[in-house]
Amino acid sequence: MRTFLTGLAATLLPATAALAADDVTLQLKWVTQAQFAGYYVALDKGFYEAEGLNVTIKPGGPDIAPPQVMAGGGADVMVDWMPSALAAREKGLALVNIAQPFKSSGMMLTCRADSGVKAPADFKGKVLGVWFGGNEYPFLTWMATLGLPTTGGAEGVEVLKQGFNVDPLLQKQAACISTMTYNEYWQLIEAGMKPEELVTFKYEDEGVATLEDGLYVLEDKLTDAAFVDKMARFVKASMQGWKYAEENPDEAAGIVLDHDETGAQTEEHQKRMMSEIAKLTAGSDGSLDPADYERTVKILMAGGSDPVISKAPEGAWSHAVTDAALK
């Protein structure tokens, strides 16, 4: 009888542990790809489980706005770019940055060399492809700092609302399009264009880079000590995932592919993406650098008569979670 009870207890222990785990739902900014490898690695390697967490990762997409998901209670935490999050905060959705796995920006404008664009001054009078849905804010700020109206005309630029593809450049519908160092640039190369046929302008190099891919929660949740503790464990495990991905990029790309239910991603592209993503997360322990935050706010407020945010936010970031995670 004692042997039976011991065996029964051993059988029930995993189920009990699973029931005791804290649920966390993460909303991604975009589809399943190496841009989010750290989270998938943490899930696959059991880093979340080791922290007593049952994590659900919800992919994004062109019709999914993470701030709206958060506002509707569809996630505990989301990945978003700071310009989008701060714009949403000014409009009334009290989002707070609790961690910043990405240290650098991967955003670029990529131009056809045969368009005549060799420097930002050459943007004048050109058609430029821009992503919207929150991704347009860094671009609009950059154009404002250059003194280029985005309403078209010979003295400004014509904005082409760009889909999430590179067709406008391939089909010569635009002189330049929005790209990421880890994704769309390589789509152009894979489509047959050569590096010498392209001219790139990195937002980092132009001094207009804003923070990307931070982790955000709703402000009122941070008054709950249990929620802060849960997020601290989530960030700790997530950063373990990110550092593992940096050190093992090919394996991380494979893990991402295993979680891609659409089958749309390829091994070659994900490996290349992960190698570029590792450059952006390098140097981050997960905590937000206040200087990076201040730089982002300054850039977003430099939009002339139509800035992304009209005043410096208060309470838009917190170290409470990362301080606990790094103990």
Residue 164's pLDDT band (cuts 50, 70, 90) = confident
pLDDT at 145: 87
DSSP letter at 192 equals T
Return the percentage of the chain with pLDDT > 70, whole number: 93
Please say if the pLDDT value at position 246 is more than 90.
Answer: yes
pTM of the predicted structure, to 2 decimals: 0.89
pLDDT at 19: 56
Write down the mean pLDDT value for the chain.
92
Token match 């909303």: residue? Answer: 27
Residue 303's pLDDT band (cuts 50, 70, 90) = low
Q: What's the rounded mean pLDDT across residues 137-146?
A: 89
Strand order in the sheet with 176-180: 158-161, 127-130, 176-180, 107-112, 198-202
Instruction: Report the distance separating Cα 117 and Cα 86, nearest Å.
Output: 32
pLDDT at 304: 62
pLDDT at 59: 97
Q: What's the rounded mean pLDDT across residues 129-145?
A: 86
State pLDDT tens for residues 11-38: 444 443 445 899 999 999 999 999 999 9
Dihedral of CA atoms 228, 211, 307, 63 in degrees, nearest 10, equals: -80
Please say if the pLDDT value at position 173 is more than 70.
Answer: yes
Q: What's the rounded mean pLDDT across residues 71-76?
A: 97
pLDDT at 231: 98
Please say if the pLDDT value at position 3 is more than 50.
Answer: no
Instruction: Report the distance separating Cα 31 and Cα 59, nearest Å.
Output: 5
Burial class (CB in 10 A: 0-12, 13-18, 19+), 202: middle
Q: What's the rounded mean pLDDT across residues 185-201?
A: 96
Please say if the pLDDT value at position 9 is more than 60.
Answer: no
Q: What's the rounded mean pLDDT across residues 36-48?
A: 98
State pLDDT tens for residues 247-290: 999 999 999 999 999 888 899 999 999 999 999 999 999 999 99
Using alpha carbons, list the distances in angstroms from residue 51 to 36, 54, 246, 252.
19, 9, 21, 20
Residue 305's pLDDT band (cuts 50, 70, 90) = low
Using alpha carbons, list the distances in angstroms from residue 149 to 110, 208, 266, 271, 318.
19, 17, 39, 39, 35
Which residue segments constitute the domains of the chain, with CATH numbers given? 2-104+211-325 (3.40.190.10), 107-202 (3.40.190.10)
The b/e string for 175-187 (b: 16+ C-beta within 10 A; e otherwise) is bbbbbbbbbbbbb
Residue 170's pLDDT band (cuts 50, 70, 90) = very high
Burial class (CB in 10 A: 0-12, 13-18, 19+), 291: exposed
Of 21, 31, 42, whose CA–CA distance to 239 is shortest? 42
Please say if the pLDDT value at position 2 is more than 90.
Answer: no
CA angle 170, 173, 179 (to 5 degrees): 60
